[in-house]
A = this chain, B = another copy of it.
């Protein structure tokens, strides 16, 4: 633990975690060799540890020989408070919202300096939407992101303002403009984007707050274009957000 340069994580636990961490959206299935490489472990070591993980059910070995995340980890993940509270409570309201608007509906929370999509309802054919449950996206280019950013602590906002990456030609990258947008979000109670994240997709979003309490999440919808429908969409969103907020246990946050 002393500051000598060099020593990577060497505890067995960290090796196990390195193996688990090797999985991500782009690596859902890997051979042992790939897994070992990505985890930075010698093959033989990975072999032993992976064996234990499989025995326990954390990983599963497919017929093809590749390893994937197992059901037991899926179970475990469901126990995370990220969703158990918020998501379950919000679920029926999301359906209402979907029924009322037929647009893709999103429920998101802030995770550090990005937006984490906690739930999504999508129709069959819909606007190109990049987000999926578990996705993280930058805050400045999405409707829900702007809402959460508008209500985030100053240090988070500061960081985001210095990292306004351009994603489409319409992404807002001038701190000044974003700052005034956020002011408007706080004043009007909703945010919107137009093709700032992906072309052909616009969005409207509102905050979800415990009554009289802090903003804990954001609710948004994605549509091809907003036009004069905005008042209707905002109204629907706000009704749903109110409903969710009222149903939240007063403790939950993070």
Contacts and interface: CB of A to CB of B under 8 A. Distances in A.
B134 A75 contact: yes
A189 interface: no
B134 A23 contact: no
Given A13-B16, A13-B52, A92-B124, A28 B76 contact: no
B14 A13 contact: no
Interface string A69-96: 1111111111111111000100110010
Nearest to A85: B28
Contact of A69 (B28, B53, B76): B76
A122 interface: yes
A122 B91 contact: yes
What band does the interface of chain A fall in when counting residues whose beta carbon is under 8 Å from B? Answer: 35 or more
A158 interface: no
A11 interface: yes
B56 A21 contact: yes
Contacts of A44: none
Nearest to A11: B52
A124 B93 CA distance: 8
Contact of A88 (B82, B91, B132): B132
B82 A71 contact: yes
A73 B71 contact: no
A9 to B, nearest CB: 9
Contacts of A28: 79, 81, 84
A17 B83 CA distance: 22
A125 B142 CA distance: 32
Given A23-B79, A88-B132, A95-B123, 8 more contacts: A60-B81, A68-B79, A73-B80, A74-B82, A75-B134, A95-B95, A95-B98, A95-B121
